[in-house]
C-alpha cells in the first residue's frame, strides 16, 4: 500500500489482516516503487495525493515493469481522475471514504481473476489467456485489445462453452463504467469479433445466445 495518511494506512492494514491479507505500507511513492522491484506483491493499493509525485504519475511508472493489479484509493472523486487512472492501467478506483468491507471484496475479486490457473491455457487451445500480462494470444498471434475488450474476452474465455449474460459481462468488467448501458457490451463484442476475424476470417468464435448474451466456443 502506498498511502501517506498514517492513520488511514494503519486502519486498513489492521482490518485487512483480519482477512489474512498481509499489508506492507509505505508513505513515500518512490519507496513503494523500490519495494515493487525487490519483492513480489499480489496487489497494490495506491493513494493519489502523495508527496513528491502524484499517484496518477506513479501508475505508468509501475506499468513499465509490472502487471501488478492496482486499486486506487483516493479522496479525489473527480471522474477525470478516475478515467485517467483507469486509462493508465489501474484495475479499480475507490473514492474515499468507503467501507473497508468493500475493499476486501474488491481485493478478493481482483486476486481471484489474476491468480486463476487458466484451464484454457493448454497447448491445444486456440486462446492463450494471461491475466498477469493482460494479454490474449489467438492462434499464436497476440491480439491488440483495449482494457475493456480484454476484460470481456477474458471472461468469455474463462467461461468457454457457457452462455454469459450481457448483465454479467457488464458487472464483471472493471474497465467499463458502472453507468454504461448493456448495449455497450454489444459494441465491444462487435469490436472483438472484428479483431478475431482479422486472424481467422472463416470461423465465428463468439456466438450470440438468444435472450441471454454471448458464448465463446472453439467448436466449429
DSSP 80-92: HHHHHHHHTT-SE
The verdict on residue 11 lying in a domain is yes
**Same domain membership, residue 17 and residue 106:** yes
Residue 206's pLDDT band, with cuts at 50, 70 and 90, is: very high
13: domain CATH number is 3.40.50.2300
Predicted pLDDT at 195 = 96
**Same domain membership, residue 151 and residue 98:** no
Q: How many CB atoms lie within 10 A of CB 213?
A: 20
The verdict on residue 1 lying in a domain is no
CA 68 to chain centre: 10
Residue 119 has pLDDT above 50, yes or no: no
- Region 114-135: what's the mean pLDDT? 68
Cβ atoms of residues 140 and 191 within 8 Å: no
**Same domain membership, residue 69 and residue 36:** yes
Final residue before a domain boundary, out of 90, 114, 138: 114
Residue with cell 501508475: 59
Residue 157's pLDDT band, with cuts at 50, 70 and 90, is: very high
**Same domain membership, residue 164 and residue 72:** no
Judged by DSSP in three states, 171 sits in helix
The verdict on residue 55 lying in a domain is yes
**Same domain membership, residue 147 and residue 169:** yes
In percent, how much of the chain has pLDDT > 90? 61
Burial class, 63, CB count within 10 angstroms (exposed 0-12 / middle 13-18 / buried 19+): middle
Judged by DSSP in three states, 93 sits in strand
**Same domain membership, residue 15 and residue 99:** yes
Predicted pLDDT at 121 = 46
Cβ atoms of residues 126 and 139 within 8 Å: yes
Quote the CA–CA distance of 206 and 159 in Å, as a whole number: 12
Cβ atoms of residues 153 and 135 within 8 Å: no
- Region 44-66: what's the mean pLDDT? 92
167: domain CATH number is 1.10.10.10
**Same domain membership, residue 177 and residue 137:** yes
Half-sphere exposure of 210 (CA within 13 A, CB side): 0
Predicted pLDDT at 180 = 63
Grid cell locating 177: 463504467
**Same domain membership, residue 110 and residue 183:** no
Tell me the chain's radius of gyration from C-alpha atoms.
19
Domain total of the chain: 2
Provide the domain limits for residue 141: 127-216
**Same domain membership, residue 131 and residue 108:** no
Residue with cell 483507469: 86
The verdict on residue 80 lying in a domain is yes
Burial class, 4, CB count within 10 angstroms (exposed 0-12 / middle 13-18 / buried 19+): middle
**Same domain membership, residue 93 and residue 15:** yes
Burial class, 211, CB count within 10 angstroms (exposed 0-12 / middle 13-18 / buried 19+): exposed
- Which of 49, 33, 192, 196 lies closest to 126 in space, CA to CA? 196
Residue 149 has pLDDT above 50, yes or no: yes
Final residue before a domain boundary, out of 61, 87, 114: 114
Cβ atoms of residues 13 and 25 within 8 Å: yes
The verdict on residue 119 lying in a domain is no
Residue 177's pLDDT band, with cuts at 50, 70 and 90, is: low
Final residue before a domain boundary, out of 60, 85, 114: 114
Of 111 and 215, more confident: 215
**Same domain membership, residue 32 and residue 75:** yes
Instruction: Enter the pTM of the model.
Output: 0.55
**Same domain membership, residue 133 and residue 68:** no
The verdict on residue 122 lying in a domain is no
- Region 133-154: what's the mean pLDDT? 91
- Region 25-40: what's the mean pLDDT? 91
Amino acid at each position: 500500500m502506498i498511502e501517506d495518511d498514517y492513520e488511514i494506512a494503519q486502519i486498513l492494514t489492521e482490518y485487512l489482516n483480519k482477512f489474512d491479507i498481509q499489508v506492507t505500507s509505505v508513505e513515500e511513492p518512490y519507496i513503494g516503487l523500490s519495494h515493487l522491484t525487490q519483492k513480489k506483491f499480489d496487489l497494490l493499493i495506491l493513494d493519489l495525493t502523495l508527496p513528491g509525485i502524484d499517484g496518477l504519475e506513479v501508475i505508468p511508472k509501475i506499468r513499465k515493469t509490472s502487471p501488478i493489479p492496482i486499486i486506487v484509493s483516493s479522496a479525489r472523486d473527480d471522474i477525470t481522475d478516475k478515467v485517467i487512472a483507469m486509462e493508465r492501467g489501474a484495475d479499480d478506483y475507490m473514492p474515499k471514504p468507503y467501507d473497508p468491507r468493500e475493499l476486501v471484496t474488491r481485493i478478493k475479486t481482483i486476486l481471484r481473476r489474476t491468480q486463476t490457473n487458466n484451464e484454457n491455457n493448454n497447448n491445444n487451445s486456440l486462446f492463450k489467456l494471461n491475466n498477469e500480462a493482460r494479454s490474449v494470444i489467438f492462434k499464436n498471434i497476440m491480439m491488440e485489445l483495449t482494457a475493456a475488450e480484454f476484460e470481456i474476452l477474458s471472461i468469455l474465455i474463462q467461461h468457454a462453452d457457457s452462455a454469459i449474460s450481457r448483465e454479467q459481462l457488464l458487472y464483471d468488467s472493471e474497465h467499463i463504467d458502472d453507468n454504461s448501458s448493456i448495449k455497450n457490451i454489444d459494441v465491444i463484442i462487435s469490436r472483438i469479433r472484428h479483431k478475431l476475424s482479422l486472424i481467422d476470417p472463416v470461423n465465428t468464435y463468439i456466438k450470440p445466445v438468444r435472450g441471454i448474451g454471448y458464448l465463446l466456443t472453439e467448436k466449429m
